[in-house]
Structure 1
């Protein structure tokens, strides 16, 4: 029962972290935060470069530097969870698996995924078991999805660098935290935050494309041209000006193509009799 109540409080904190306060008739009612969630949330630090020398224990039981996973020139999807979390972390990871299934890209090919536990008491055995469970659920090859546990308190440093604020409640024996995943550039800079426990495949695709910095194909670049990230809706929305501009360019191309076709047809029609004239 305590776990369920704590989960609901944590979920409420996640919602508060994702939405600005809504003021009612009597004042800013939505700004009242339960004591258990004080200081919990997300502080966006776009453009912040994380320390790639931080080490974490991988599922193989050995410490690895973050730089190993950023040296491959691919954007990185980061989640900070803990493996014994009763509900919210599982919802975040389940939502991530769902959106990854909807994408044609593969972790380890177009991007990397790093899942790191915020609980310093968890060991690599838990990370290994969690990885096995989620890769089985993903049901595809994912050589670029890595699971880690803390090493020498580095997860607190990493969380601070990306603006992920969490706290441990000794009474509940659980961590209060928000629900979000982070997209980083191949150089380790924070590029985008995706909030909640359900993610749109278009949002993730555009966020990875944006972070990839010219490393993806023309189709994805065109998509990014037509969509932009709206901080208020926390999602990518159509950019009407670019769509209209692109539509105008397409109309000009189509009009030019029609003119060329007409010109060629007229040339053939009038050129045929002249080609039959011979010199005397």
Structure 2
């Protein structure tokens, strides 16, 4: 007696595997909490942030967000929280390491504002965080350069929505899920640049501040440097702008040639004057 045999062709095997993987993928997709879907960053460049929003600073004083935008200095803006188990610490460590490499001083050429996304955070906790990172920064007289703010949930969410910062509270872990992003704002409170990750090269930070300042900080060479560099969103840093460098090179070449021609014409004019003087002196007197 010949037993029944069941064999599957390669095509059938492939189909079974495909449906199995699709089922697993669907199961995994359904397993993702809805809160997680909102996490991310949607860049709102040149958007005016709500300067009228009320918060409380780390000294317990009532303030408005606009109190830290004076129309003169660019402002670094971050959304973090002090009890974050890892990401906020990595981000702020990297940011202050980058700021250490910038020769401008916090509070003199630029300001920084950090708003806690945890409405339960108290000013005392925010102050402790501020002291910790200012010690890492290691410069004197910068206490008024960084402002750590706490506030009500509605105001925090309004600010986050305006800047495109998506985050979510996870009740299971009692933590906030969020991205690591640092925003650089113009002196009047418009979003100028988003910098991502937990490492911030000093040149990237400096150029972002220079760009946001709209010429209000930096010297002539800084402006020339900014002209020749542009932000590469894929690389997450500023890189040489070939066309602008060519334009700048053309201008410098023109200036150089104009200078050479000017020197040549001055010398020729001087020679002509000496020749006329010599000829006049050589004429016999009557």
TM range (shorter): 0.7 to 0.9
**Map of 2:9 onto structure 1:** none
Q: Secondary structure at the match of 1:155?
A: helix
8 Å Cα contact 2:118/2:153 also seen in 1: no
8 Å Cα contact 2:76/2:183 also seen in 1: yes
Task: Report how many residues are paired.
Answer: 251
**Map of 1:19 onto structure 2:** none
Q: 1:188 to 1:215 in 2, by over 3 A?
A: same
Within 2, Cα distance between the matches of 1:208 and 1:177? 24
Structure 1 residues without counterparts, runs of 5 or longer = 1-25
> How far is the alpha carbon of 1:152 from its aligned partner?
5.3
Within 1, Cα distance between the matches of 2:73 and 2:258? 39
> How far is the alpha carbon of 1:266 from its aligned partner?
4.3
Q: 1:273 to 1:190 in 2, by over 3 A?
A: closer
**Map of 1:95 onto structure 2:** 94
Question: 5 Å matches for 1:239-258?
Answer: 239-258=241-260
Q: Secondary structure at the match of 1:229?
A: strand
Within 2, Cα distance between the matches of 1:139 and 1:274? 69
Q: 1:264 to 1:71 in 2, by over 3 A?
A: closer
> How far is the alpha carbon of 1:76 from its aligned partner?
1.0
**Map of 1:117 onto structure 2:** 116
8 Å Cα contact 1:181/1:195 also seen in 2: yes
For the aligned residue pairs, the C-alpha RMSD in angstroms reads 2.2
TM-score (norm 2): 0.80
**Map of 1:50 onto structure 2:** 49
Question: 5 Å matches for 1:134-145?
Answer: 134-140=133-139, 141-142=141-142, 143-145=144-146
TM-score (norm 1): 0.82
Question: 5 Å matches for 1:1-280?
Answer: 35=32, 37-140=36-139, 141-142=141-142, 143-151=144-152, 153-216=154-217, 217-268=219-270, 271-276=273-278, 277-278=280-281, 279=283, 280=285
- Structure having the higher Rg: 2
Within 2, Cα distance between the matches of 1:152 and 1:159? 10
Within 2, Cα distance between the matches of 1:200 and 1:257? 38
